[in-house]
Amino acid sequence: MDTGELKELKKKVFDANIKLAGSGLIISTFGNVSGIDRKAQVIAIKPSGIPYSDMRIDDMVLVSLSGEKVEKRSPNPSSDTDTHLELYRTFTGIEGVTHSHSDYASVFAQAKIAIPCLGTTHADYFYGPVPVSEVIDDSCIMGDYELETGKLIVRTFKNRDYQNMKACLVSCHGPFTWGDSADDSVEVAIMLEHIAKLAYRSMLLEGSVKDIKKTLLDKHYLRKHGSDSYYGQDKGK
């Protein structure tokens, strides 16, 4: 393993966790962000139960994709580590994962309701309704709970493209988001909370509000993320 690259991974994951803590999505020690070095097959993740204000870069825990701590004297990793690992093993195109208990996204998760796509703000970031998982069954709760939570998310995406929908609400729990880096997964979590708030308030104002029409959804999502996207600046400039 390249120790320099793994130190850089720790730094990026630390920065992403501090960004999450400063985003307003977190209370107490809830939430965690991880990132992966695909070449080394190692993730870095927030330690379990340490307040964000007390964390240091060296507290970030390196864990192999098979679940072993790389540095034996490091703190215990987040209790959600096995969920993160399952997502990395299955969604092989992702580079970062964020889990939070942000208010509005968790409201939808607790109500076991997908976040409907009602407008273009949502469509700019998520290609359709943000799905909610089934309720985890008792055998999974009493077994390897965190691993089974990851498998639950994966099953929710059996017929979905995880690259077009970078978020899942775990029923009765909260949101998981992913992206092209640890930092990107935090950005997705921030946007998820924003569109959950918009949907919740729209549904309060008009209980029978309808989803955005498909042509408008396609226009807004694909102009930013499609093969012929034209949002933003040319990379060569």
For residue 82, the enclosing domain spans 3-225
Domain count, the chain: 1
Query: CATH code at 164?
Result: 3.40.225.10
Structural contact between residues 29 and 49, judged by C-beta atoms closer than 8 angstroms = yes
Q: Is residue 53 part of a domain?
A: yes
Catalytic residue flag (residue 231): yes
CB atoms within 10 A of CB 123: 22
**Tokens encoding 137:** 């069954």
pLDDT averaged over the chain?
Answer: 95
Is pLDDT larger for residue 198 or for residue 235? 198
Q: Is residue 200 part of a domain?
A: yes
Band (pLDDT 50/70/90 cuts) for residue 235 is low
DSSP H/E element including 167:
strand 167-170
Sign of CA dihedral 179, 181, 184, 185: positive
Give first-to-last CA distance, the chain, whole Å.
35
Residue 199 has a pLDDT of: 98
What percentage of the chain reaches a pLDDT higher than 90?
86
Catalytic residue flag (residue 82): no
Q: What is the pLDDT of residues 47-66, one digit of tens each?
A: 999 999 999 999 999 999 99
Query: Which pTM was predicted?
Result: 0.92
> Which one of the listed residues 137, 144, 211, 231 is annotated catalytic?
231
Residue 236 has a pLDDT of: 55
Q: Is residue 215 part of a domain?
A: yes
Question: What's the maximum distance between 2 C-alpha atoms anywhere in the chain?
Answer: 55
What's the rounded mean pLDDT across residues 187-207?
96
Q: What is each CA distance from 3 to 7, 8, 42, in whole angstroms?
A: 6, 9, 12
Band (pLDDT 50/70/90 cuts) for residue 237 is very low
Q: Is residue 234 part of a domain?
A: no
Cβ neighbourhood burial of 155 (10 Å; 0-12, 13-18, 19+): exposed
d(CA 97, CA 84): 7
Q: Is residue 235 part of a domain?
A: no
Kindly tell me if the per-residue pLDDT of 139 is higher than 60.
Answer: yes
Residue 168 has a pLDDT of: 99
| Residue 51: half-sphere exposure toward Cβ, Cα within 13 Å | 3
Q: Is residue 139 part of a domain?
A: yes
> Which one of the listed residues 59, 124, 180, 218 is annotated catalytic?
124
Kindly tell me if the per-residue pLDDT of 216 is higher than 70.
Answer: yes
CB atoms within 10 A of CB 169: 28
One-letter amino acid for residue 106 of the chain: S
Kindly tell me if the per-residue pLDDT of 234 is higher than 80.
Answer: no
Q: What is the pLDDT of residues 72-99, one digit of tens each?
A: 889 999 999 999 999 999 999 999 999 9
